[in-house]
Structure 1
Amino acid sequence: MANTNAYQLNVSYGDEIIGTVTLDSTTNLLRLSYSPQWQQHGFAISPHLQLNNRHTPEVAYNYLDNALPEGEARKLLAEKLGVSEKNVYSQVQTIGSDLAGAVAFKPAPETQVDGAQPVFRPLEEAELIERLDNKEEFGLLTWDDKPRLSVAGVQDKLNVFIDDVGCIGFGDGSLCSTHILKFEKKNCPNLVLNEFFCMKLSEAIGLPTANVTFRRFGPHPALIVKRFDRKYIADKKKVFRRHVIDGCQALNLSRDHKYERNLGDGRDVQHIRDGASLEKLFKFSQGMSSPVESTKWLLQWQLFNLMISNYDSHGKNVSLYFDKHNARFTPAYDLVNIAMFPQFKHVLAMAMGDEFDPNDIHTYQLADFAETCNIDKRLLSRILVELADSVLNQLSGCTFINELKEQPSITVEDIPYFEALRDNIFARTEYLKAQAEDIPSITV
């Protein structure tokens, strides 16, 4: 007789079980159901996972699919479990205790989640360096024969717990990851330096930005990103979580729809644009806690991405806090100047109006973007000038780069790359600023 518990996971929020995820063993369809108690006093964990439990299996699948790793890490996790990469349930069952946000997924026999003891498994620097030396062969997913949430894209990433004195390791029980370590692949030299520069520039001009530090583990550069959905309280030896969802979850899109051209940019399919788009995100922002604040955040985020040539700003590179009282954008993350990497495709993840070629973003395309996303053109012009002035002010002279030099792991060999990056962003920002004056007079 089949063990029915194998097809059900408890969904927990903090110390409370708020519902279940069930896999239909006959149809392989997922169902997420809230408990009656949570329906009375809780909140929907995603806009389309409503408290009335009437959402379709596709909504539950999209939510969980987006919570899991991407890229090579997803394939490795599926291979280790002996399941298809599309088998979301088995993967959530394995690593569901440390997904993004505040919601955890654990085997159904666990009837309570409170009282967990902190479990810390130190990750010594020598061990990490050895693994990084051989990561092309062994990867970063499995430690002590246990899969750890390793989010992958262009970079290799590893979720870790870092305590109040800087010790790095893995957390279980009342602990979970508080930081993300991001590394380079062999074909992407200087990618970590690039992201460090762009993130620090965003922070310097006053945009809400995830906190990052640069460090080298032996010869391996790493970006240490402090998670904005986690907070470690040392006195209680516990990590508290804040719930977040990404843009695809907010729009009820699968991870395969994170690009606006969800079927690619081939000649026969480039006209199909069913994925995440700026138009959809701006429309969604009108229903957030503060529509004016959210619209401004999203507008500044997109314009800054254009200034730093972050062509890969897709639907999963924007997130929001989402709970009973808030629906607000989180700090920015994954800010990279793609123009510095000829090996990457130089195509916008989400179009400006109808334009996907970053080299063809001029006054008309900016005005088209404003009309498409229902943004006042005078507002767009003003914010573009203000943001550009802030960027140009930071990059003029040597102050900004001199501040980066103060980081302990930055070496004199890194400075020429910073200077090339500065020059690239400065020129692009100057050009975009020059387009601002005529935007209000353009009729699309």
Structure 2
Amino acid sequence: MKNKLDAYSLNVKFAENVIGELSLNKETGLPKLEYNNDWQQSGFAISPSLTLDNDHHNPVAYNFLDNILPEGDARLLLAERAGVSEKNVFSQIREIGGDLSGAVTFTTNSIEQEAVQPAFRLLSKDELESRLDTKEYTGLLTWDDKPRLSVAGVQDKLNVFINENGEIGFGDGALCSTHILKFEKKNCLNLVLNEYFCMKLSVAVGLPTAEVEFVRFGKHPALLVRRFDRKFVSDKKQVFRRHVIDGCQALNLPRDFKYERNLGDNRDVQHIRDGASLPKLFEFSKSMSSPAQSAQWLINWQLFNLIISNYDSHGKNVSLFWGKDNSSFTPAYDLVNIAMFSQFKYVLAMAMGDEFDPNDINAYQLADFAETCAIDKKLLARSLSNLTKKVTSTLTAGTFVQDLIKSNDFTEEEQLYIDQLKDNIVVRAQYLNSQTSMISTIEV
């Protein structure tokens, strides 16, 4: 590695320590990540394929970086701000490398020389409401001429820091973001409410789930998500980070491969399934700290997604805590009932066995899923039976929905939507429960 950074290199930091260097190959345009000697001796690979021996090809670093950058319009705006193409991940990392998912940051020499003092920029409700009124035209990427959005995903999101007084703003220096604000677009009415309900339901049935709140800024509903890779310690005025990677990073896939049918669903390419898949994730779980516990987490995650009709549970909607001595799945996130939105395609992001049509999932496809992913069929049937019964009893008992309504200022229209969402999930749970007794008897 070079001793001095130039325009084509960045420091790679873990916590406060420089662990390596990210450089850009001028000829190929691909980034290269190399660990320094100290980290090779005492650290760990920050992603499975970014091995400590530095003997990994440039596309590995590209895939890792590609997955921690925003997607959709935010990615285009970020690239436009940097004056580069969307595929130039190195230049985009230069822009927002200080507050990415996980514990790794990327800094230049100029940033290294700045004092890393905690700085808080208050974001008033009025200012945010005003910005949300025009977000369809101005976006949410840049504030005070500084890019703020750095969370992967296509939904409108904003990284924010919440201090000990509950004030929302932007953190700099030792104060990186602690929460994510998620908003809905005009063509996705009630998306925030939908996700809030599904996330709270996941908690109610005992599944590890990210903490969320339903909030409003004027007429704009928002989902406030507490980041599970951050912890603010107020007396030290510092946010501590925990390293995480998503499913695509774990599998060394670019973000375009987050769907199993990585080339799409058209007839001439739908047979190509090189993207993230359930068999690949279950196979990877065998290498984690607790293979049995990890496999059970994946089973519960996929079954709950089926129950709530979250067809978009792709490779980037599952993440792992990743460290030197431990690897485990993070709490679940991005849980949405897609069946409540007619504008979306009803296609599974990752197949159950060989089936991508959610309306054709029955005992046979569940048995196929078990065989494909090397899951004991009796275990799968038992897990599905337990989960569907928990979901049904939680939603039909009445207290769950009543408590949500009492703790939030929902409008009559929103309460009606909640009832429709509840009924949709109950019907789905009851149907899937009816399939459980046949799973273990089917030979695929």
TM range (shorter): over 0.9
Report how many aligned residue pairs link the two structures: 441
Which one-letter code corresponds to 2:64 in the other structure?
Y
CA distance in 2, matches of 1:118, 1:375: 48
1:112 positional shift? 7.3
Please give the residue correspondences for 1:68-217 in structure 2 after superposition, counting only pairs within 5 Å. Answer: 68-108=69-109, 116-151=116-151, 153-217=153-217
Whether the aligned pair in 2 keeps the contact of 1:66 and 1:249 (CA below 8 Å) is: yes
Which one-letter code corresponds to 2:343 in the other structure?
Q
2:418 is matched with 418
Aligned: 1:349 with 2:344 = no
2:309 is matched with 309
Which one-letter code corresponds to 1:90 in the other structure?
S
Which one-letter code corresponds to 1:401 in the other structure?
V
1:42 positional shift? 0.6
Gaps of 5+ in 1: none
CA distance in 1, matches of 2:337, 2:248: 22
1:55 is matched with 56
**Aligned sequence identity (%):** 66
CA distance in 1, matches of 2:6, 2:424: 56
With over 3 angstroms needed to count, the CA separation of the structure-2 counterparts of 1:12 and 1:153, relative to structure 1, is closer
1:163 positional shift? 1.0
CA distance in 1, matches of 2:111, 2:213: 37
1:154 positional shift? 5.0
With over 3 angstroms needed to count, the CA separation of the structure-2 counterparts of 1:111 and 1:132, relative to structure 1, is closer
CA distance in 2, matches of 1:69, 1:298: 25
Is 402-411 or 378-387 further displaced after alignment? Answer: 402-411
Aligned: 1:23 with 2:24 = yes
Whether the aligned pair in 2 keeps the contact of 1:215 and 1:409 (CA below 8 Å) is: no
CA distance in 2, matches of 1:134, 1:181: 16
CA distance in 1, matches of 2:386, 2:395: 15
1:44 is matched with 45
2:360 is matched with 360
With over 3 angstroms needed to count, the CA separation of the structure-2 counterparts of 1:160 and 1:111, relative to structure 1, is closer
**What do you get for the CA RMSD once the two structures are aligned?**
1.3
Is 232-241 or 156-165 further displaced after alignment? Answer: 156-165
1:87 positional shift? 0.3
Whether the aligned pair in 1 keeps the contact of 2:294 and 2:329 (CA below 8 Å) is: yes
Gaps of 5+ in 2: none
1:395 is matched with 395
Which one-letter code corresponds to 2:433 in the other structure?
K
CA distance in 1, matches of 2:155, 2:57: 34
1:286 is matched with 286
Q: TM-score, normalised by structure 2?
A: 0.97
Whether the aligned pair in 2 keeps the contact of 1:162 and 1:168 (CA below 8 Å) is: yes
1:165 positional shift? 1.6
1:149 positional shift? 1.9
Which one-letter code corresponds to 2:396 in the other structure?
S
Question: Residue 324 of structure 2: SS of its match in structure 1?
Answer: coil
Per-residue CA distance 1:159-216 (angstroms, 9 max, x = gap):
1111122100111100101000000100010000000000000000000000000011
Whether the aligned pair in 2 keeps the contact of 1:119 and 1:175 (CA below 8 Å) is: yes
Aligned: 1:372 with 2:394 = no
Which one-letter code corresponds to 2:106 in the other structure?
F
CA distance in 1, matches of 2:152, 2:68: 12
CA distance in 1, matches of 2:365, 2:170: 47
Q: TM-score, normalised by structure 1?
A: 0.97
CA distance in 2, matches of 1:123, 1:109: 27
Whether the aligned pair in 1 keeps the contact of 2:246 and 2:320 (CA below 8 Å) is: yes
Whether the aligned pair in 2 keeps the contact of 1:118 and 1:175 (CA below 8 Å) is: yes
Per-residue CA distance 1:342-361 (angstroms, 9 max, x = gap):
00011000000000000000
1:430 is matched with 430
CA distance in 1, matches of 2:304, 2:40: 40
Which one-letter code corresponds to 1:78 in the other structure?
A
Which one-letter code corresponds to 1:381 in the other structure?
A
Question: Residue 6 of structure 1: SS of its match in structure 2?
Answer: coil
Whether the aligned pair in 2 keeps the contact of 1:214 and 1:409 (CA below 8 Å) is: no
Per-residue CA distance 1:240-293 (angstroms, 9 max, x = gap):
000000000000000000000000010100000000000000000011000010
CA distance in 2, matches of 1:429, 1:393: 10
Which one-letter code corresponds to 1:271 in the other structure?
H
Which one-letter code corresponds to 1:348 in the other structure?
L
Whether the aligned pair in 1 keeps the contact of 2:96 and 2:150 (CA below 8 Å) is: no
Which one-letter code corresponds to 2:355 in the other structure?
E
Whether the aligned pair in 2 keeps the contact of 1:216 and 1:409 (CA below 8 Å) is: no
Whether the aligned pair in 1 keeps the contact of 2:69 and 2:150 (CA below 8 Å) is: no
CA distance in 1, matches of 2:5, 2:175: 29
CA distance in 1, matches of 2:30, 2:118: 35
CA distance in 2, matches of 1:67, 1:369: 29
CA distance in 2, matches of 1:152, 1:54: 27
Whether the aligned pair in 2 keeps the contact of 1:71 and 1:152 (CA below 8 Å) is: no
Which one-letter code corresponds to 1:19 in the other structure?
G
Whether the aligned pair in 2 keeps the contact of 1:367 and 1:443 (CA below 8 Å) is: yes
